[in-house]
Copies of this chain bind each other. A is one copy, B any other.
Amino acid sequence: MTNTDRHGLIARAVGESGSATVQDLAELTGASEMTIRRDLDTLAAQGVLERVRGGARTLLLRGEEPPFALRAREAVDAKRRIAAEVASLITDGETVLLDSGTTCLEVARLLRQRPVTVMPLSLQAIHLFGEAPGSTTLMVPGGRPRAAEGALTGPLTLASLSALRFDTAVIGCCGLSAAEGLTAYDLDDAAVKKASIASARRVIAAADGSKLGRTAHAYVGPSALLHTLVTDSSAPAEEVAALEGTNTVVKTV
């Protein structure tokens, strides 16, 4: 049991039951209470949960966007596979616009060292490219970083997007359905996605199955804007069929 495993266990336990005491978690993981306290502090700092005296409480159940650190723990395998497929759809030499979100971050990992021009819309992805200046050309959009992930939003971001054109935009989403279209948790985020789609010749959406058929608050646009959707086999079949009816190519990995 590594510390990361334990963190995962704790995050899941707290997330499922809504809250947990330090004692419970110590018993569950086999670690000492002191260790659990340290873990909880760490996870609280990451925005995974909220620290309360005696234990911890989940941050969900409030209609808010799940914290990035929490989302990053979910469906990692599916995201990796989806990202691999997306990366394979991108040809060397292309200019690529990379949206924020955990799936797109995986795509960023795969694009490193490849001869493409990339403009990522999150600080985390920018870090990835900035640290290993390989054959990839990096463009940084302006903006104000939002939340733990550092998703760039605001007028500067929109201005940067409107000044450029891309071969491909890789878009993540919080909700997607043929009926309700593409939706995001945050209005600013939605505006950025809208502008991203507008400045790319080809739009690839990367969304694991849990996103399909779901609708979030902020509307981005109709699903017909997407040229390709890459998802996994957990996607609801009827939703996939409906999306294919709107001229979107659906690839299931």
Is B130 touching A145 in the complex (CB atoms < 8 A)? yes
CB within 8 Å for A156 and B145 given contacts A127-B127, A127-B130, A130-B150: no
Verify if A30 is at the interface (C-beta below 8 Å from B): no
Q: Mark A128-144, 1 if CB is under 8 A from B, else 0.
A: 00100100011111111
Interface string of A229-249 (1 = CB under 8 A from B): 000000000000000000000
**Bound form: Cα–Cα A141–B144 in Å:** 9
Q: How large is the interface on A (under 10, 10 to 19, 20 to 34, 35 or more residues)?
A: 20 to 34
Whether A130 touches B140, Cβ cut-off 8 Å, given contacts A155-B163, A159-B159, A160-B156, is no
**How far apart are the CA atoms of A132 and B57 in the complex, in Å?**
23
A176 within 8 A of B: no
* A141-B142 CB under 8 A given contacts A159-B159, A160-B156: yes
Is A107 close to B, CB under 8 A?
A: no
B-chain residues with CB within 8 Å of residue A212 when the two chains form the complex: none
| List of B residues within 8 angstroms of A126 by Cβ | 123, 126
Q: Kindly report how many copies of this chain are found in the complex they form together.
A: 2
Point out which of A138, A139, A142 has the most chain B C-beta atoms below 10 A from its C-beta.
A142
A52 within 8 A of B: no
Closest to A137 in B: B144
Nearest CB in chain B: distance from A3 CB, A: 19
Residue of B nearest to A161 (CB): B142
8 residue pairs A–B, Cβ–Cβ below 8 Å: A126-B126, A127-B130, A133-B145, A137-B144, A140-B140, A140-B143, A140-B144, A140-B145
Q: Which residues of A contact B (CB under 8 A)?
A: 123, 126-127, 130, 133, 137-145, 148, 150, 152, 155-156, 159-160, 163-164
Known pairs A127-B130, A139-B156, A140-B152 / 14 extra A-B pairs, C-beta < 8 Å: A123-B130, A133-B145, A139-B142, A140-B143, A140-B144, A140-B156, A141-B156, A142-B142, A142-B143, A142-B156, A142-B159, A155-B163, A156-B164, A160-B160
